[in-house]
Chain A
Amino acid sequence: MAELSRRRLLGGGAAVLGAAGIGAAGVGTGLGYAATREPEPTGGRTVAFHGVHQAGIDTDPQAFAAFVALDLRPGLDRRALVGIMKVWAEDGRRLAGGSPALGDTEPELALDPARLTVTVGFGPAVFDAAGLEAQRPEWLRPLPAFSIDRLEERWSGGDLLLQVCADDPVTVSHATRTLAKSVRSLATVRWIQRGFRNAVGTKPTGTTMRNLMGQVDGTVNPAAGSTDFDRQVWNPGAPAWLAGGTSLVLRRIRMELDTWDELDRPARELAVGRDLAAGAPLTGSREHDDPDFAATDVHGIPVIPPESHVARARPRNANEQFLRRGYNYDDPDGAGLLFAAYQADVDAQFVPVQQRLAEHDALNPWITPVGSAVFAVPPGFGPGGYPGDTLFEG
Protein backbone atom coordinates (compact mmCIF):
# COMPACT_ATOMS: atom_id res chain seq x y z
CA MET A 1 0.00 0.00 0.00
CA ALA A 2 2.81 2.35 0.95
CA GLU A 3 4.42 1.64 -2.42
CA LEU A 4 1.16 2.35 -4.23
CA SER A 5 0.54 5.66 -2.53
CA ARG A 6 4.13 6.72 -3.13
CA ARG A 7 3.64 5.96 -6.79
CA ARG A 8 0.44 7.97 -6.80
CA LEU A 9 2.29 10.88 -5.26
CA LEU A 10 5.05 10.58 -7.82
CA GLY A 11 2.46 10.35 -10.56
CA GLY A 12 0.79 13.48 -9.29
CA GLY A 13 4.11 15.27 -9.18
CA ALA A 14 4.84 14.27 -12.74
CA ALA A 15 1.45 15.58 -13.84
CA VAL A 16 2.23 18.93 -12.27
CA LEU A 17 5.59 18.98 -14.04
CA GLY A 18 3.77 18.10 -17.25
CA ALA A 19 1.44 21.04 -16.86
CA ALA A 20 4.40 23.32 -16.21
CA GLY A 21 5.98 21.97 -19.39
CA ILE A 22 2.96 22.87 -21.47
CA GLY A 23 3.05 26.34 -20.00
CA ALA A 24 6.70 26.65 -20.85
CA ALA A 25 6.07 25.50 -24.40
CA GLY A 26 3.28 28.07 -24.60
CA VAL A 27 5.71 30.91 -24.02
CA GLY A 28 7.88 29.64 -26.81
CA THR A 29 10.80 27.86 -25.15
CA GLY A 30 9.69 24.51 -26.55
CA LEU A 31 11.63 22.40 -24.08
CA GLY A 32 10.22 18.97 -24.90
CA TYR A 33 11.72 17.21 -21.91
CA ALA A 34 9.62 19.21 -19.45
CA ALA A 35 6.51 17.29 -20.48
CA THR A 36 8.22 13.90 -20.34
CA ARG A 37 7.19 11.79 -17.40
CA GLU A 38 9.85 9.81 -15.62
CA PRO A 39 9.18 6.11 -16.32
CA GLU A 40 7.95 3.89 -13.50
CA PRO A 41 10.76 1.91 -11.85
CA THR A 42 10.82 -1.62 -13.23
CA GLY A 43 12.71 -3.25 -10.36
CA GLY A 44 9.53 -4.63 -8.81
CA ARG A 45 8.57 -6.73 -11.83
CA THR A 46 8.51 -10.46 -11.15
CA VAL A 47 8.36 -13.70 -13.15
CA ALA A 48 6.51 -16.67 -11.60
CA PHE A 49 9.06 -19.04 -10.05
CA HIS A 50 6.89 -22.16 -9.91
CA GLY A 51 5.23 -23.80 -12.88
CA VAL A 52 5.12 -26.67 -15.34
CA HIS A 53 8.44 -25.49 -16.80
CA GLN A 54 11.32 -23.72 -15.10
CA ALA A 55 11.28 -19.99 -15.73
CA GLY A 56 14.03 -18.36 -17.78
CA ILE A 57 13.47 -20.31 -21.00
CA ASP A 58 10.10 -19.18 -22.36
CA THR A 59 10.55 -15.92 -20.43
CA ASP A 60 10.97 -12.86 -22.66
CA PRO A 61 14.77 -12.51 -22.37
CA GLN A 62 15.91 -10.25 -19.58
CA ALA A 63 18.67 -7.72 -20.18
CA PHE A 64 21.37 -9.48 -18.13
CA ALA A 65 22.41 -13.06 -17.54
CA ALA A 66 24.95 -15.08 -15.64
CA PHE A 67 25.55 -18.70 -16.55
CA VAL A 68 27.28 -20.42 -13.64
CA ALA A 69 28.68 -23.95 -13.80
CA LEU A 70 29.46 -25.72 -10.54
CA ASP A 71 31.31 -28.94 -9.86
CA LEU A 72 30.18 -31.37 -7.19
CA ARG A 73 32.72 -32.01 -4.49
CA PRO A 74 34.06 -35.60 -4.58
CA GLY A 75 31.99 -38.26 -2.88
CA LEU A 76 28.66 -36.44 -2.98
CA ASP A 77 25.58 -38.64 -2.94
CA ARG A 78 21.94 -38.23 -3.91
CA ARG A 79 21.04 -36.82 -0.52
CA ALA A 80 23.58 -34.02 -0.89
CA LEU A 81 22.35 -33.27 -4.42
CA VAL A 82 18.78 -33.02 -3.17
CA GLY A 83 20.06 -30.69 -0.45
CA ILE A 84 21.56 -28.34 -3.03
CA MET A 85 18.32 -28.38 -5.00
CA LYS A 86 16.23 -27.63 -1.92
CA VAL A 87 18.39 -24.64 -1.00
CA TRP A 88 18.12 -23.31 -4.56
CA ALA A 89 14.35 -23.93 -4.62
CA GLU A 90 13.87 -22.00 -1.39
CA ASP A 91 16.20 -19.11 -2.13
CA GLY A 92 15.25 -18.97 -5.82
CA ARG A 93 11.62 -18.56 -4.82
CA ARG A 94 12.44 -15.86 -2.30
CA LEU A 95 14.74 -13.89 -4.58
CA ALA A 96 12.40 -14.13 -7.60
CA GLY A 97 9.69 -12.63 -5.40
CA GLY A 98 11.91 -9.78 -4.22
CA SER A 99 12.57 -11.18 -0.74
CA PRO A 100 15.99 -11.82 0.79
CA ALA A 101 17.31 -15.39 0.73
CA LEU A 102 17.52 -17.27 4.02
CA GLY A 103 20.57 -15.93 5.83
CA ASP A 104 20.95 -13.28 3.13
CA THR A 105 24.01 -11.24 4.08
CA GLU A 106 23.00 -8.35 1.77
CA PRO A 107 19.21 -8.39 2.07
CA GLU A 108 18.82 -4.90 0.58
CA LEU A 109 20.21 -6.20 -2.73
CA ALA A 110 17.33 -8.66 -2.96
CA LEU A 111 14.54 -6.12 -2.98
CA ASP A 112 14.46 -5.41 -6.74
CA PRO A 113 13.82 -8.73 -8.49
CA ALA A 114 13.66 -7.02 -11.93
CA ARG A 115 12.11 -10.15 -13.51
CA LEU A 116 14.71 -12.42 -11.92
CA THR A 117 14.65 -16.02 -13.05
CA VAL A 118 16.78 -18.87 -11.73
CA THR A 119 17.04 -21.93 -13.98
CA VAL A 120 18.84 -25.10 -12.86
CA GLY A 121 20.53 -27.65 -15.13
CA PHE A 122 22.29 -30.98 -14.62
CA GLY A 123 25.57 -32.05 -16.19
CA PRO A 124 26.42 -35.71 -16.80
CA ALA A 125 28.06 -36.22 -13.39
CA VAL A 126 24.81 -35.64 -11.50
CA PHE A 127 23.55 -39.03 -12.63
CA ASP A 128 26.68 -40.83 -11.46
CA ALA A 129 26.64 -39.11 -8.08
CA ALA A 130 22.95 -39.93 -7.61
CA GLY A 131 23.38 -43.54 -8.71
CA LEU A 132 20.86 -42.89 -11.50
CA GLU A 133 23.00 -43.58 -14.58
CA ALA A 134 20.09 -45.25 -16.34
CA GLN A 135 18.11 -42.02 -16.17
CA ARG A 136 20.72 -39.93 -17.99
CA PRO A 137 19.46 -38.73 -21.38
CA GLU A 138 21.54 -40.21 -24.19
CA TRP A 139 22.46 -36.76 -25.53
CA LEU A 140 23.78 -35.53 -22.17
CA ARG A 141 27.52 -35.59 -22.89
CA PRO A 142 30.04 -33.21 -24.42
CA LEU A 143 29.17 -32.32 -28.01
CA PRO A 144 31.20 -34.10 -30.69
CA ALA A 145 34.42 -32.26 -31.52
CA PHE A 146 33.91 -29.78 -34.35
CA SER A 147 36.73 -28.65 -36.64
CA ILE A 148 36.16 -24.99 -35.79
CA ASP A 149 36.35 -25.55 -32.01
CA ARG A 150 39.16 -24.08 -29.96
CA LEU A 151 37.64 -25.08 -26.64
CA GLU A 152 39.15 -24.02 -23.36
CA GLU A 153 38.59 -25.99 -20.19
CA ARG A 154 37.81 -22.82 -18.24
CA TRP A 155 34.64 -22.22 -20.26
CA SER A 156 33.55 -25.83 -20.73
CA GLY A 157 31.75 -28.61 -18.91
CA GLY A 158 30.27 -28.52 -15.43
CA ASP A 159 28.22 -30.74 -13.12
CA LEU A 160 25.48 -28.24 -12.31
CA LEU A 161 24.25 -25.13 -14.05
CA LEU A 162 22.62 -22.03 -12.62
CA GLN A 163 21.23 -19.67 -15.22
CA VAL A 164 20.41 -16.38 -13.51
CA CYS A 165 18.68 -13.68 -15.59
CA ALA A 166 17.24 -10.30 -14.64
CA ASP A 167 16.77 -6.82 -16.03
CA ASP A 168 19.27 -5.44 -13.52
CA PRO A 169 22.92 -6.51 -13.23
CA VAL A 170 23.03 -5.88 -9.47
CA THR A 171 20.16 -8.33 -9.01
CA VAL A 172 21.94 -10.93 -11.15
CA SER A 173 25.18 -10.49 -9.21
CA HIS A 174 23.54 -10.80 -5.81
CA ALA A 175 21.42 -13.81 -6.73
CA THR A 176 24.34 -15.60 -8.36
CA ARG A 177 26.61 -15.20 -5.38
CA THR A 178 23.91 -15.98 -2.82
CA LEU A 179 22.88 -19.22 -4.53
CA ALA A 180 26.47 -20.40 -5.00
CA LYS A 181 27.75 -19.63 -1.53
CA SER A 182 24.82 -21.22 0.29
CA VAL A 183 25.96 -24.65 -0.93
CA ARG A 184 29.73 -24.08 -1.11
CA SER A 185 30.54 -27.09 1.06
CA LEU A 186 28.88 -29.32 -1.58
CA ALA A 187 29.71 -27.66 -4.91
CA THR A 188 32.36 -25.24 -6.16
CA VAL A 189 32.03 -22.69 -8.92
CA ARG A 190 33.76 -23.91 -12.10
CA TRP A 191 33.08 -20.89 -14.32
CA ILE A 192 30.81 -17.89 -14.56
CA GLN A 193 29.89 -16.37 -17.90
CA ARG A 194 28.08 -13.05 -17.82
CA GLY A 195 26.14 -11.61 -20.73
CA PHE A 196 24.02 -8.67 -21.70
CA ARG A 197 21.45 -7.44 -24.17
CA ASN A 198 19.95 -4.01 -24.59
CA ALA A 199 18.86 -2.39 -21.34
CA VAL A 200 15.17 -2.23 -20.52
CA GLY A 201 13.54 0.69 -22.28
CA THR A 202 16.21 1.11 -24.95
CA LYS A 203 14.14 -0.73 -27.55
CA PRO A 204 10.52 -1.90 -27.70
CA THR A 205 9.91 -5.24 -25.94
CA GLY A 206 10.19 -8.15 -28.34
CA THR A 207 12.87 -6.58 -30.57
CA THR A 208 15.28 -9.27 -31.78
CA MET A 209 18.70 -8.74 -30.20
CA ARG A 210 21.81 -7.69 -32.07
CA ASN A 211 25.12 -9.39 -31.48
CA LEU A 212 28.38 -7.48 -31.27
CA MET A 213 29.09 -8.05 -34.97
CA GLY A 214 26.06 -5.83 -35.49
CA GLN A 215 23.83 -8.59 -36.80
CA VAL A 216 20.21 -9.09 -35.85
CA ASP A 217 20.56 -12.43 -34.05
CA GLY A 218 17.73 -14.84 -33.27
CA THR A 219 15.14 -13.99 -35.93
CA VAL A 220 14.13 -17.59 -36.57
CA ASN A 221 12.92 -18.46 -33.07
CA PRO A 222 9.69 -20.15 -32.00
CA ALA A 223 7.25 -17.89 -30.15
CA ALA A 224 6.74 -18.72 -26.47
CA GLY A 225 3.51 -20.63 -25.99
CA SER A 226 3.24 -21.67 -29.66
CA THR A 227 2.95 -25.30 -30.74
CA ASP A 228 6.32 -24.89 -32.49
CA PHE A 229 7.89 -23.82 -29.20
CA ASP A 230 6.34 -26.72 -27.30
CA ARG A 231 7.54 -29.22 -29.89
CA GLN A 232 11.05 -27.81 -30.28
CA VAL A 233 11.87 -26.99 -26.67
CA TRP A 234 9.97 -29.07 -24.13
CA ASN A 235 11.01 -32.66 -23.70
CA PRO A 236 8.01 -34.97 -24.21
CA GLY A 237 9.20 -37.43 -21.56
CA ALA A 238 12.30 -39.19 -22.88
CA PRO A 239 13.34 -40.13 -20.25
CA ALA A 240 10.07 -39.83 -18.33
CA TRP A 241 11.39 -37.64 -15.51
CA LEU A 242 12.38 -34.97 -18.03
CA ALA A 243 8.84 -34.36 -19.36
CA GLY A 244 8.39 -30.59 -19.46
CA GLY A 245 12.12 -30.03 -19.14
CA THR A 246 14.59 -29.32 -21.90
CA SER A 247 18.31 -29.17 -22.63
CA LEU A 248 20.73 -26.28 -22.76
CA VAL A 249 23.72 -26.12 -25.06
CA LEU A 250 25.89 -23.18 -24.06
CA ARG A 251 28.61 -22.26 -26.52
CA ARG A 252 30.98 -19.39 -25.84
CA ILE A 253 31.64 -18.02 -29.32
CA ARG A 254 34.44 -15.52 -29.55
CA MET A 255 34.08 -12.95 -32.31
CA GLU A 256 37.22 -11.97 -34.18
CA LEU A 257 36.15 -8.35 -34.33
CA ASP A 258 39.52 -6.96 -35.38
CA THR A 259 39.50 -8.97 -38.61
CA TRP A 260 35.74 -8.53 -39.02
CA ASP A 261 36.56 -4.81 -39.15
CA GLU A 262 38.47 -5.48 -42.36
CA LEU A 263 35.25 -6.58 -44.05
CA ASP A 264 33.17 -3.87 -45.72
CA ARG A 265 29.45 -3.82 -45.33
CA PRO A 266 28.49 -5.64 -48.58
CA ALA A 267 30.93 -8.44 -47.79
CA ARG A 268 29.56 -8.71 -44.24
CA GLU A 269 26.02 -9.00 -45.61
CA LEU A 270 27.03 -11.73 -48.08
CA ALA A 271 28.70 -13.69 -45.28
CA VAL A 272 25.51 -13.67 -43.23
CA GLY A 273 22.97 -13.72 -46.06
CA ARG A 274 21.02 -10.90 -44.44
CA ASP A 275 21.22 -7.15 -44.63
CA LEU A 276 22.61 -5.52 -41.53
CA ALA A 277 20.15 -2.65 -41.17
CA ALA A 278 16.92 -4.63 -40.81
CA GLY A 279 18.22 -8.18 -40.59
CA ALA A 280 16.15 -8.99 -43.69
CA PRO A 281 17.27 -11.86 -45.91
CA LEU A 282 19.07 -10.56 -49.00
CA THR A 283 15.99 -11.63 -50.99
CA GLY A 284 13.59 -9.65 -48.77
CA SER A 285 13.09 -6.30 -47.14
CA ARG A 286 11.90 -7.07 -43.63
CA GLU A 287 13.45 -9.08 -40.80
CA HIS A 288 10.84 -11.83 -40.81
CA ASP A 289 10.57 -12.27 -44.58
CA ASP A 290 11.30 -15.87 -45.58
CA PRO A 291 14.66 -16.21 -47.35
CA ASP A 292 14.35 -17.28 -50.99
CA PHE A 293 17.33 -19.54 -51.46
CA ALA A 294 16.38 -20.22 -55.13
CA ALA A 295 16.46 -16.55 -56.15
CA THR A 296 19.31 -15.62 -58.56
CA ASP A 297 20.58 -12.34 -59.97
CA VAL A 298 20.83 -11.43 -63.67
CA HIS A 299 24.00 -13.52 -63.94
CA GLY A 300 22.29 -16.57 -62.45
CA ILE A 301 24.20 -16.29 -59.18
CA PRO A 302 22.19 -17.01 -55.99
CA VAL A 303 21.21 -13.79 -54.21
CA ILE A 304 21.79 -15.54 -50.87
CA PRO A 305 25.15 -17.32 -51.22
CA PRO A 306 24.83 -21.07 -50.47
CA GLU A 307 27.78 -20.81 -48.08
CA SER A 308 26.28 -17.86 -46.19
CA HIS A 309 25.36 -18.34 -42.54
CA VAL A 310 21.57 -18.34 -43.09
CA ALA A 311 21.83 -20.79 -45.97
CA ARG A 312 24.00 -23.21 -43.98
CA ALA A 313 21.99 -22.87 -40.78
CA ARG A 314 18.63 -23.39 -42.50
CA PRO A 315 16.96 -26.53 -41.09
CA ARG A 316 17.09 -29.46 -43.51
CA ASN A 317 14.15 -31.11 -41.76
CA ALA A 318 11.57 -30.19 -39.12
CA ASN A 319 13.77 -31.58 -36.33
CA GLU A 320 16.61 -29.15 -36.88
CA GLN A 321 15.01 -26.27 -35.02
CA PHE A 322 15.50 -24.99 -31.49
CA LEU A 323 15.23 -21.92 -29.28
CA ARG A 324 18.14 -19.49 -29.17
CA ARG A 325 18.31 -17.19 -26.14
CA GLY A 326 21.83 -15.89 -26.23
CA TYR A 327 23.64 -12.96 -24.64
CA ASN A 328 26.54 -10.78 -25.72
CA TYR A 329 29.74 -10.78 -23.73
CA ASP A 330 32.57 -8.29 -23.75
CA ASP A 331 35.37 -8.74 -21.26
CA PRO A 332 39.18 -8.63 -21.09
CA ASP A 333 39.34 -11.93 -23.02
CA GLY A 334 37.50 -10.45 -25.96
CA ALA A 335 33.95 -10.10 -27.16
CA GLY A 336 31.44 -12.57 -28.47
CA LEU A 337 28.20 -14.39 -27.95
CA LEU A 338 27.06 -16.70 -25.19
CA PHE A 339 25.11 -18.85 -27.60
CA ALA A 340 22.38 -20.55 -25.55
CA ALA A 341 20.26 -23.12 -27.40
CA TYR A 342 17.34 -24.99 -25.83
CA GLN A 343 15.90 -28.12 -27.42
CA ALA A 344 14.07 -31.30 -26.49
CA ASP A 345 16.88 -33.47 -27.91
CA VAL A 346 20.43 -32.20 -28.46
CA ASP A 347 21.48 -34.98 -30.87
CA ALA A 348 18.40 -34.73 -33.10
CA GLN A 349 18.04 -30.97 -33.18
CA PHE A 350 21.26 -29.14 -32.38
CA VAL A 351 24.14 -31.37 -33.46
CA PRO A 352 23.25 -31.67 -37.19
CA VAL A 353 23.02 -27.90 -37.57
CA GLN A 354 26.29 -27.30 -35.72
CA GLN A 355 27.96 -30.03 -37.79
CA ARG A 356 26.87 -28.38 -41.03
CA LEU A 357 28.04 -24.95 -39.86
CA ALA A 358 31.38 -26.36 -38.73
CA GLU A 359 31.89 -27.95 -42.15
CA HIS A 360 31.17 -24.71 -43.90
CA ASP A 361 29.81 -21.33 -42.94
CA ALA A 362 31.02 -18.09 -44.53
CA LEU A 363 31.08 -16.58 -41.02
CA ASN A 364 33.55 -19.12 -39.63
CA PRO A 365 36.72 -17.04 -40.14
CA TRP A 366 35.31 -14.54 -37.67
CA ILE A 367 33.70 -16.78 -35.03
CA THR A 368 35.54 -19.25 -32.79
CA PRO A 369 33.83 -21.51 -30.24
CA VAL A 370 36.02 -21.34 -27.11
CA GLY A 371 33.63 -22.90 -24.59
CA SER A 372 31.01 -25.63 -24.71
CA ALA A 373 28.71 -27.25 -22.17
CA VAL A 374 25.55 -29.36 -22.28
CA PHE A 375 22.99 -29.61 -19.49
CA ALA A 376 19.68 -31.35 -18.94
CA VAL A 377 17.19 -28.81 -17.60
CA PRO A 378 14.62 -30.50 -15.37
CA PRO A 379 10.95 -29.51 -15.56
CA GLY A 380 9.33 -26.90 -13.34
CA PHE A 381 8.10 -27.65 -9.84
CA GLY A 382 5.57 -26.46 -7.30
CA PRO A 383 5.95 -24.84 -3.86
CA GLY A 384 6.74 -28.20 -2.23
CA GLY A 385 9.12 -29.32 -4.96
CA TYR A 386 12.61 -28.63 -6.22
CA PRO A 387 14.56 -28.90 -9.50
CA GLY A 388 14.86 -32.57 -10.41
CA ASP A 389 12.37 -33.93 -7.88
CA THR A 390 10.94 -36.08 -10.66
CA LEU A 391 14.41 -37.58 -11.13
CA PHE A 392 15.54 -38.01 -7.54
CA GLU A 393 12.20 -39.22 -6.20
CA GLY A 394 10.83 -40.82 -9.39
Chain B
Amino acid sequence: MKKTLFLAAAAAATLLAAGCSSDEPAAASADSLTVSSAWAKAAESGMTGAFAELENTGDTDIHIVSAASPSSARTEIHEMAAGDGGAMVMREKADGLVIPAHSTHSLAPGNDHLMLMDLVEPVLPGTEVTFELTFEDGSTTEFTAQVRDFSGAQENYQPSAGAGANHGG
Protein backbone atom coordinates (compact mmCIF):
# COMPACT_ATOMS: atom_id res chain seq x y z
CA MET B 1 0.00 0.00 0.00
CA LYS B 2 2.73 2.44 1.00
CA LYS B 3 4.77 1.47 -2.04
CA THR B 4 1.89 2.20 -4.40
CA LEU B 5 1.34 5.61 -2.88
CA PHE B 6 5.01 6.45 -3.22
CA LEU B 7 5.08 5.43 -6.88
CA ALA B 8 1.98 7.46 -7.59
CA ALA B 9 3.50 10.52 -5.99
CA ALA B 10 6.70 10.09 -7.96
CA ALA B 11 4.77 9.76 -11.20
CA ALA B 12 2.84 12.94 -10.43
CA ALA B 13 6.05 14.82 -9.76
CA THR B 14 7.49 13.65 -13.06
CA LEU B 15 4.42 14.82 -14.91
CA LEU B 16 4.61 18.21 -13.20
CA ALA B 17 8.27 18.57 -14.10
CA ALA B 18 7.60 17.63 -17.69
CA GLY B 19 4.74 20.12 -17.81
CA CYS B 20 6.97 22.92 -16.58
CA SER B 21 9.75 22.34 -19.07
CA SER B 22 7.39 22.18 -22.03
CA ASP B 23 5.96 25.63 -21.14
CA GLU B 24 9.34 27.38 -21.32
CA PRO B 25 12.05 27.35 -23.97
CA ALA B 26 14.73 24.86 -22.96
CA ALA B 27 17.85 26.55 -21.58
CA ALA B 28 20.95 26.12 -23.73
CA SER B 29 23.31 23.49 -22.33
CA ALA B 30 26.07 26.11 -22.21
CA ASP B 31 24.05 28.13 -19.69
CA SER B 32 23.73 25.17 -17.31
CA LEU B 33 27.35 23.99 -17.28
CA THR B 34 29.80 25.38 -14.75
CA VAL B 35 33.45 24.45 -15.24
CA SER B 36 35.80 24.78 -12.26
CA SER B 37 39.24 23.65 -11.08
CA ALA B 38 40.40 23.13 -14.65
CA TRP B 39 44.03 22.17 -15.20
CA ALA B 40 46.19 20.49 -17.80
CA LYS B 41 49.33 18.40 -17.61
CA ALA B 42 52.50 20.11 -18.86
CA ALA B 43 54.08 18.58 -21.98
CA GLU B 44 56.71 19.54 -24.52
CA SER B 45 54.96 17.94 -27.48
CA GLY B 46 52.60 15.17 -28.53
CA MET B 47 49.62 14.41 -26.34
CA THR B 48 48.55 15.60 -22.92
CA GLY B 49 45.49 15.47 -20.71
CA ALA B 50 43.22 18.11 -19.21
CA PHE B 51 40.92 17.82 -16.23
CA ALA B 52 38.11 19.78 -14.57
CA GLU B 53 34.95 19.65 -12.51
CA LEU B 54 31.85 19.91 -14.74
CA GLU B 55 28.69 20.87 -12.89
CA ASN B 56 25.30 20.68 -14.56
CA THR B 57 23.16 23.19 -12.67
CA GLY B 58 20.17 22.70 -14.97
CA ASP B 59 17.08 20.50 -14.93
CA THR B 60 18.01 18.56 -18.07
CA ASP B 61 20.93 16.36 -18.99
CA ILE B 62 23.83 17.94 -20.84
CA HIS B 63 25.47 16.11 -23.71
CA ILE B 64 28.99 17.24 -24.62
CA VAL B 65 29.64 16.02 -28.15
CA SER B 66 33.09 17.46 -28.81
CA ALA B 67 36.01 19.46 -27.42
CA ALA B 68 38.52 21.70 -29.17
CA SER B 69 41.56 23.75 -28.22
CA PRO B 70 43.83 26.15 -30.10
CA SER B 71 46.75 24.39 -28.37
CA SER B 72 46.18 21.14 -30.26
CA ALA B 73 45.39 20.16 -33.80
CA ARG B 74 42.87 17.67 -32.41
CA THR B 75 41.19 17.31 -29.04
CA GLU B 76 39.28 14.23 -27.91
CA ILE B 77 37.04 13.22 -25.06
CA HIS B 78 38.50 10.11 -23.47
CA GLU B 79 37.32 7.49 -21.04
CA MET B 80 39.10 4.78 -19.09
CA ALA B 81 37.94 1.28 -19.82
CA ALA B 82 39.13 -2.30 -19.50
CA GLY B 83 41.11 -3.26 -22.59
CA ASP B 84 41.35 -6.66 -24.23
CA GLY B 85 43.93 -7.87 -21.72
CA GLY B 86 41.85 -6.64 -18.79
CA ALA B 87 44.15 -3.67 -17.99
CA MET B 88 42.62 -0.22 -17.84
CA VAL B 89 43.31 1.80 -20.94
CA MET B 90 42.07 5.10 -22.25
CA ARG B 91 40.20 5.45 -25.46
CA GLU B 92 38.06 7.97 -27.21
CA LYS B 93 34.54 8.21 -25.90
CA ALA B 94 32.75 8.07 -29.22
CA ASP B 95 29.40 9.34 -27.99
CA GLY B 96 30.83 12.19 -25.95
CA LEU B 97 29.92 12.87 -22.32
CA VAL B 98 26.51 13.06 -20.72
CA ILE B 99 26.23 14.99 -17.46
CA PRO B 100 22.90 14.29 -15.77
CA ALA B 101 20.81 17.19 -14.47
CA HIS B 102 21.96 18.61 -11.13
CA SER B 103 25.14 16.59 -10.95
CA THR B 104 28.89 17.09 -11.14
CA HIS B 105 31.15 15.04 -13.34
CA SER B 106 34.88 14.95 -12.61
CA LEU B 107 37.33 14.85 -15.44
CA ALA B 108 40.29 13.38 -13.58
CA PRO B 109 43.44 11.30 -14.13
CA GLY B 110 42.35 7.67 -14.24
CA ASN B 111 38.85 8.69 -15.26
CA ASP B 112 37.16 10.54 -18.10
CA HIS B 113 39.32 13.41 -19.37
CA LEU B 114 40.07 15.66 -22.30
CA MET B 115 43.03 14.75 -24.48
CA LEU B 116 45.06 17.23 -26.50
CA MET B 117 46.15 14.81 -29.23
CA ASP B 118 48.68 16.86 -31.13
CA LEU B 119 50.16 19.89 -29.32
CA VAL B 120 51.03 22.81 -31.58
CA GLU B 121 53.56 24.13 -29.02
CA PRO B 122 54.85 23.12 -25.57
CA VAL B 123 52.42 23.74 -22.72
CA LEU B 124 54.43 24.98 -19.72
CA PRO B 125 53.50 25.19 -16.03
CA GLY B 126 51.57 28.32 -15.13
CA THR B 127 50.35 29.00 -18.65
CA GLU B 128 46.73 28.54 -19.64
CA VAL B 129 45.16 26.30 -22.25
CA THR B 130 41.80 27.36 -23.67
CA PHE B 131 39.11 24.79 -24.39
CA GLU B 132 35.79 24.96 -26.17
CA LEU B 133 33.12 22.37 -25.47
CA THR B 134 30.30 21.86 -27.98
CA PHE B 135 26.96 20.53 -26.78
CA GLU B 136 24.36 18.48 -28.60
CA ASP B 137 22.06 21.51 -28.86
CA GLY B 138 24.79 23.39 -30.73
CA SER B 139 25.66 25.77 -27.89
CA THR B 140 29.30 26.05 -26.78
CA THR B 141 31.23 27.05 -23.69
CA GLU B 142 34.85 28.12 -23.22
CA PHE B 143 37.15 27.67 -20.25
CA THR B 144 40.83 27.89 -19.46
CA ALA B 145 42.94 25.27 -17.69
CA GLN B 146 46.11 26.19 -15.80
CA VAL B 147 49.06 23.98 -16.66
CA ARG B 148 51.25 22.23 -14.05
CA ASP B 149 53.77 19.43 -13.94
CA PHE B 150 52.09 16.14 -13.15
CA SER B 151 53.54 12.62 -13.07
CA GLY B 152 50.30 10.65 -13.33
CA ALA B 153 47.80 10.42 -16.18
CA GLN B 154 50.05 8.03 -18.09
CA GLU B 155 47.39 5.64 -19.29
CA ASN B 156 48.17 3.08 -21.94
CA TYR B 157 46.54 4.50 -24.98
CA GLN B 158 46.73 1.58 -27.42
CA PRO B 159 45.64 -1.65 -25.76
CA SER B 160 47.15 -3.66 -28.60
CA ALA B 161 50.60 -2.10 -28.06
CA GLY B 162 50.96 -3.90 -24.73
CA ALA B 163 51.93 -2.64 -21.32
CA GLY B 164 54.92 -0.55 -22.38
CA ALA B 165 53.23 2.16 -24.40
CA ASN B 166 52.84 5.20 -22.20
CA HIS B 167 51.55 8.12 -24.15
CA GLY B 168 50.53 10.37 -21.31
CA GLY B 169 53.53 12.66 -21.73
Residues of A in contact with B (beta carbons under 8 Å apart):
79-80, 82-87, 90-91, 102-103, 105, 181-186
Contacts and interface: CB of A to CB of B under 8 A. Distances in A.
> Which 10 pairs of residues, A with B, have the shortest CB-CB distance?
A83-B126, A86-B126, A102-B39, A182-B148, A87-B126, A184-B149, A183-B125, A83-B125, A185-B149, A103-B150
B124 A186 contact: yes
Nearest to B108: A103
B164 interface: no
26 contacts: A79-B124, A79-B127, A80-B125, A80-B126, A83-B124, A83-B125, A83-B147, A84-B125, A85-B126, A86-B127, A86-B146, A87-B125, A90-B146, A91-B148, A102-B148, A103-B41, A103-B109, A103-B148, A103-B150, A182-B148, A182-B149, A183-B149, A184-B149, A185-B124, A186-B124, A186-B125
Nearest to B128: A86
A84 B127 CA distance: 9
Interface of B: 37-39, 41-42, 51, 109, 124-127, 146-152
A140 B90 CA distance: 50
Given A102-B39, A103-B39, A103-B51, A80 B149 contact: no
A86 B126 CA distance: 5
B127 to A, nearest CB: 6
Instruction: Label chain A's interface by main secondary structure.
Output: helix
A79 B125 CA distance: 10
A105 B150 CA distance: 9
A183 B39 contact: no
Contacts of B148: 87, 91, 102-103, 182-183
Nearest to B52: A102
Contacts of A102: 37-39, 146, 148
A239 B152 CA distance: 42
A185 B42 contact: yes
A82 B38 CA distance: 19
A30 B151 CA distance: 58
Contacts of A181: 149, 151
Contacts of B38: 102
Contacts of B125: 80, 83-84, 87, 182-183, 185-186
Contacts of B127: 79, 83, 86
A80 B37 CA distance: 22
A90 B126 CA distance: 9
